Amino acid sequence: MYAFELVRPATVAEAVAALAEDGAQALGGGQTLIPTLKARLAMPEKLVSLGGIAELRGVTVEGDEVRIGGGTPHATVAHEVAKAYPALASLAERIGDPHVRNRGTIGGSLANNDPSACYPAAALASGATIVTNKREIAADDYFQGMFATALDEGEIITEVIFPIPQAAHYEKIRQPASRFPLVAVFVAKFADGVRVAVTGAAENGVFRWTEAEEALSADFSPSAVEGLSADSDGMIGDMHGTPEYRAHLIGVMTRRAVAAAG
Amino acid sequence: MPDGGIGASTKRREDVRFLTGKGRYTDDYNRPDQTYVWFLRSDVAHGRITKLDTSAAEAMPGVVKIFTSADFTTAGGIPAGWQIHDRQGEPMKEPKHPILAEGKVRHVGDPIAAVVAETRAQARDAAEAIEVDIEELPAVVDMRAALEAGSALVHDDMGTNLCFDWGFVEDNRDAVDAAIKAAPHVTTLELVNNRLIPNAMEPRVALGDYDQADDQHTLYTTSQNPHVIRLLMGAFVLSIPEQKLRVVAPDVGGGFGSKIFHYAEEAFVTAAAKVVGRPVKWTSTRSEAFMSDAHGRDHVTKIELATEKDGTFLALRSTTLANMGAYLSTFAPSIPTYLHGTLMAGNYKTPQIYVNVRAVFTNTVPVDAYRGAGRPEATFQIERVIDKAARELGIDPIEIRRRNYVTEFPYQTPVAVNYDIGDYNALMDKLIEIADVAGFPARREESAARGRLRGLGISSYIEACGIAPSNLVGQLGARAGLYEAATVRVNPTGGITVFTGSHSHGQGHETTFPQVVASMLGIDAGSIEISHGDTAKVPFGMGTYGSRSLAVGGSAIVKAVDKIIAKAKKIAAHLMEAAETDIELKDGRFSVAGTDKSVAWADVTLAAYVPHNYPLDQIEPGLEETAFYDPSNFTYPAGAYACEVEVDPETGVVTVLGFAAADDFGNVVNPMIVEGQVHGGIAQGIGQAMLEAAGYDENGQITTGSYMDYAMPRSNDVPNYKVDHSCVTPCTHNPLGVKGCGEAGAIGSPPAFVNAVLDALNSGGIKVDHINMPLTPSRVWAAIQAARA
Amino acid sequence: MPQVSMTVNGRKVSGEVEGRTLLVEFLREGLRLTGTHVGCDTAQCGACVVHVNGNSIKSCNIFALEADGAEVTTIEGIAGKDGSLSVVQAAFQTHHGLQCGYCTPGMVMTATSLLKENPAPSEAEIREYLEGNICRCTGYHNIVKAIQAAAAELGSNRVAAE
């Protein structure tokens, strides 16, 4: 790692002030950022740790929505939303490993927007709202391609609001080495329609599979998406799978997610 | 027999320190005033260094000194420990392997310069400030392309990328060609034995220290064989007399072959410590390990098996390209040759065999021994081609093996080795029982009901362990002996320290070797201590690899204890005023046959060191003996393995549901440890077959440079294993009747896994002949698509 | 340089660190607690697992300063004060759940966490929980067996206490 200063603000306001400085970067749980720093692929002058900010942590369930503080670790989410939003809890408890889940945060995951991360699929399929220190951003506007989001420099995710669907499921096939999703699909059925978000597959990161959404909104059953196949154009191709394989898996994962969501 | 003797599953005494965080691994060692080194490594596969300017870096904070190849003009290259002669009798091409690159870089990770600084971070910071320009050259990656005319050359002065073209047994070549031509049936398979990265969990570490007062060098290093490192580094690289060089390999966190070899970093820290006048420490990161630890396997093979229509084997021909990487690692030339060709008979009485291996230089990390070392490569070819032949001929895969098993011993193979003993049918019988082969059809139906394809894969293997004897391997090109040494030091009060040349890095020698000695002397194993891993303490030993520690190192201990017993009997005879021939040793007491006279072990040992009443005219005081044991033959463990898998035809995902192994290791000293060795080997074999592959792109960049892309087997990738070692045919030529168990699991399991997946597919109506390892979901799915197209 | 203070294995410690100093570096180099190991640099192998405020984490993937004020337990703090092995440690020895010993501290710390969270895990649950701990020697069989045995023993201890 290159040398940097590490600061631990106690409030969002202090963090925002610290992040306003040149060369400052936010540090969430660090589960992706620290390995990146070790490889010297990033060179911040100052790291602003969000780990000491109590107001960023916590889960509340209110009516038909779940609100999760941006600094909440995956393990807490898995535990706290198990009743209110089991599909989201199930996603959280399958991220990385137990140690990563004790450190990694939802805000960190969404801010990083790794094309193979789990949380973006849940946020997009749920039609979540990303709340920052400045504004509220709809998930549909938030994800802007691989590692790209609507966040401005120094903007911090303070909360994520998930509407709770009638039925949902997250189906994933793991990349054998990293254990990130090779392809994973989050299906969420709401009163006004079905949303299907795909992660791990596309070069541009998480996306909605609109053809499947239409078919499932008309008939929420595995057979509705039988024979439907995603386009391999723009899919990731690497040693773990060709674009064609990933496109194929999107169909399989979607069918299985619908079957499991019931 | 005391508790904790031969045959007992004694708990491991070394575990207590490992479980409480008190292990002493190399990185846990620190010397006063120590400095740290960071190696600037090439980020291109092949290129000429046109500029190397360290001046800016030298001015960086904390820098002590920056080294380049100019600092090593008098040093030798890292040597190869085995010389192969080609089909014409010419010696292999043997390029220089410098400590730091001389003018040219030849693989990603090749060290160019080394920064010694006050802290590790400062060394790395300064390394980035070194100005280096490299004129990139075309990378030689693919072995076939490397041998084509006009290919770029890894070593310009050699004029070729071919290291050697080896035939074995060369005199069999024409006869095998003719037999295959004339055979009623020939099964052919082209396959890849995938390149692996050993990945011992402890990354390599080297700490060099120099004591000016008495001109003594000390190297602490993560090694499986400290004496071999001392010999190679002292004699060939740094010209340090052995009496001035101590090599210590303390607790070592796994080896699997990768810590046999002498590496440039070891020579560097040893030399640099003298130059800077302070200790120099190097701790590899995992990322560095991927591009600096020797890799394993990497063969491309065509295998042809000629048979009668009834499945009787007539002839076998293997034609292989073996990747050497950019330089010859310590034992690299021996792996695809004598450790591979000699095993090509497998468990079968194939009358005619010919093996051709062309070893190729490429712009990749050097390739050398990895758990099994040549023997998995041989077994995989044989067991895969047999399965394909069985399918073609319509014979059951178990039956075709049985029809061809060697059943009479000793058996002289057509590939030089002579199997002393074995019972392969008994192993297959045992396997069928423990794998519940009879229940398989019902299990397959149960899977089918869930839309899954279930498969059962069988393999047999034979291994050759404890490679020997030294005079034979010397004729074959080994530049070292392959004996083992032991010193047994009996203390005055009867306790014992055994100094062994074997090295334990997970095998449990500290527990098992005392079991052997305790059984021989009839004393408590708890009073016996093992010392290993320090050239200043132990006799010249060859270390631990090739499943040799008990068969060779254990035999050396037995020989030394034999000498101890012989001398102790003389002392006892004197004490009891009896004839030496009448003395018996039982349960730690010496007695005079046919009388009630006896003396305790400790009485005799005390007399040896306090020789007041002692036959000084006949024997010397003291009770300490050294033995060197050089085996007369290899040992030949064998086994039969079964793997049961389920394939999800929609995704290509393979799940391993069961794995059974029936092994004949000869006599077993500690069953618990033997079973653990098999478990670990199986997991590595499943890793090779299902998950692991070191990848290079066409520019020679490593595509699997971390655990993000190199798939290590994890707990949820593997099942519980059923292992059995009750079929015992004791080795006929070592005193313990033992054979070795360290590599078996990794040898027998890859073909069992692949055969299982292919059984699942073919029995499900999906006609697939072969899928190259690793059988990732993506590859299995692609094979299914191709079959259905 | 910044100062960091924490409680490690019940002992209050402090030291100077850089911003970039990892917790594992502080433990190994600052406190000479070398039982915690480093096996990779991508936070996957789990040889460095310790407990921070009761939760298992990878100490190579957290800065020392982030653990300021925390309660840290390392492998050196697991055995009894008299040196007696914990139930989990003893089970690893009895069932040969370790060979070279390098991944072992992380495995023991992880197994200890698992049994605290889930006193009676199934084999599948154990295997999933070990996802972030790589062992190259044992093939996992005996690690799983050791954890099952420890769970059984802790369970019967609990019953006996009630």
pLDDT digits (tens, 9 = 90+) for A43-96: 999 999 999 999 999 999 999 999 999 999 999 999 999 999 999 999 999 999
- Interacting residues of B345 by C-beta distance below 8 A, sequence separation 6+: B316, B353, B406, B413, B414, B415, B417, B462
Interchain CB distance below 8 Å, C61 and A5:
no
Residue C160, pLDDT score:
80
| CA of B239 vs chain A CAs: smallest distance (Å) | 37
By Cβ distance, the residue of C56, C65, C68 closest to A102 is C56
CATH 3.30.390.50 domain extents, chain A? 167-261
Secondary structure letter of residue A199 according to DSSP = E
State the pLDDT at residue C159: 81
pLDDT tens-digit readout, B330-343: 999 999 999 999 99
What are the tens digits of pLDDT across the range A105-118? 999 999 999 999 99
What is the three-class DSSP state of B768?
coil
Give contacts of C 69-108 with A, CB under 8 A. none
- C-alpha B514, offset from chain centre: 24
Is residue A187 within 8 Å of A125, Cβ to Cβ? yes
List all residues 6 or more positions away from B450 whose beta carbon is below 8 Å from its beta carbon: none
As a whole number, mean pLDDT of residues B460-476 equals 90
CB contact under 8 A, A241 and B125: no
Res. B1: pLDDT tops 50: no
Check if B119 contacts C (Cβ < 8 Å).
no
Angle at B203 between CA B201 and CA B206, to 5 degrees: 145
Given a contact as 3+ CB pairs under 8 Å, which chains touch C? A, B
Contact at CB, C57 and A99, closer than 8 angstroms:
yes
When CB atoms are compared, the residue of B202, B676, B706 closest to C142 is B676
Among left, alpha and beta (phi > 0; psi -120 to 50; other), residue A212 is alpha
Q: What is the mean pLDDT of chain B?
A: 97
**Contacts B254 to C, Cβ<8 Å:** 99-100, 102, 136-137
**Residue B147 near residue B73 (C-beta atoms within 8 A):** no
The arithmetic mean of pLDDT across residues B571-586, rounded, is 96
Domain coordinates of chain C in residue numbers? 3-77, 87-161
Q: Which CATH architecture has domain A5-49?
A: 2-Layer Sandwich (3.30)
Work out the pLDDT band at A262, boundaries 50, 70, 90. confident
B636-670 pLDDT, tens digit per residue, is 999 999 999 999 999 999 999 999 999 999 999 99
- Judged by a CB distance cut-off of 8 A, whether residue B720 touches chain C is yes
Inform me whether the C-beta atom of residue C9 falls under 8 Å from chain B C-beta atoms: no
Q: How far is CA B698 from CA B141, B657, C46, in A?
A: 6, 37, 33
For C50, the closest chain A residue by CA position comes to A99
Q: Select from A173, A177, A252 the Cβ nearest to the Cβ of B708.
A: A177
CATH fold, domain A167-261, is Enolase-like; domain 1 (3.30.390)
> How much is the average pLDDT of B380-395?
98
C134 to B712: CB separation less than 8 angstroms, yes or no:
yes
CA distance B334 to chain A (A): 31
Radius of gyration of chain C (CA): 16
In chain A, residues under CATH classification 3.30.43.10 are: 5-49
Is A239's CB within 8 Å of B709's CB?
yes
C55/A102 CB distance under 8 A: yes
Do residue C138 and residue B680 have CB atoms under 8 angstroms apart?
Answer: yes
Residues of C with Cβ-Cβ distance to B706 under 8 angstroms: 40-42
Asked if B702 and B694 touch (Cβ cutoff 8 Å), the reply is: yes
The per-residue b/e assignment along C47-69, b for 16 or more CB within 10 angstroms, e otherwise, is bbbbbbeebbbbbbbbbbbbbbe
> Distance between CA atoms of A148 and A114, rounded to whole angstroms?
9
Taking a C-beta distance cutoff of 8 angstroms, is the pair B657, B440 a contact?
A: no
A-proximal residues of B, 484-503, CB under 8 Å: none
Residue numbers of A between 173 and 192 with CB closer than 8 Å to B = 173, 176-179, 182
The pair of structure tokens assigned to B502 is 């074997």
* Fold entry, domain A54-163: 3.30.465
Q: How far apart are CA B611 and CA B634, in angstroms?
A: 42
Q: Helix, strand or coil for residue B57?
A: helix
- What confidence tens digit (pLDDT) does each residue in A108-147 have? 999 999 999 999 999 999 999 999 999 999 999 999 999 9
B672 interfaces chain C, CB cutoff of 8 Å: yes
- CA of A94: which chain C residue's CA is closest? C128
Cβ(B693)–Cβ(B756) under 8 Å?
A: no
* Residue C21 in contact with partner chain A when CB distance is under 8 A: no
Q: Among A6, A30, A97, select the one facing C19 at the smallest CB separation.
A: A6
Q: What percent of chain B has pLDDT over 70?
A: 100
User: Is there a contact between C130 and B716 if contact means CB atoms under 8 Å apart?
Assistant: yes
Residues 126-145 of C with CB under 8 A from B: 126-128, 130-131, 133-144
- Condensed to tens digits (0 to 9), the pLDDT of residues B522-557 reads 999 999 999 999 999 999 999 998 889 999 999 999
Distance from CA of A177 to the nearest CA of B (A): 4
Question: Which residue do the tokens 């120590």 mark?
Answer: B34
Q: Is the CB of C2 inside 8 Å of chain A's CB atoms?
A: yes
Domain C87-161 sits in CATH at 1.10.150.120
* Closest chain B residue to A245, measured at CA: B778
Domains of chain B listed by start with CATH number: 15-21+483-629 (3.30.365.10), 31-137+201-254+259-292 (3.90.1170.50), 295-467+633-788 (3.30.365.10)
Please state the ipTM of this predicted complex. 0.98
Q: Is B506 at the interface with chain C, CB within 8 A?
A: yes
Given pLDDT bands bounded at 50, 70 and 90, which one contains residue B3?
Answer: low
pLDDT (tens digit per residue) in C25-58: 999 999 999 999 999 999 999 999 999 999 999 9
pTM for the predicted model, two decimal places: 0.97
Q: What percent of chain A has pLDDT over 90?
A: 99
Confidence check: pLDDT of C98 > 80: yes
CB-CB: which of C36, C100, C108 is closest to B19? C108
CB contact under 8 A, A3 and C49: no
Q: Which of C35, C100, C124 sits opposite B506 (nearest CB)?
A: C100
Q: What is the pLDDT of residues B225-246, one digit of tens each?
A: 999 999 999 999 999 999 999 9
Question: How would you list the strands of the sheet with B721-724, edge to edge?
Answer: B453-462, B638-647, B654-664, B721-724
Nearest CB partner across the interface for A99, out of C2, C22, C46: C46
CA distance A63 to chain B (A): 38
- CA nearest to C42 within chain A: A35
Q: How far is C58 from chain A (nearest CA, A)?
A: 6
Overall average pLDDT of the B708-716 stretch: 97
pLDDT digits (tens, 9 = 90+) for B478-493: 988 899 999 999 999 9
Residue B67 near residue B272 (C-beta atoms within 8 A):
yes
Question: What is C3-77's CATH topology?
Answer: Ubiquitin-like (UB roll) (3.10.20)
Inter-chain residue contact C61 with A98, CB threshold 8 Å: no
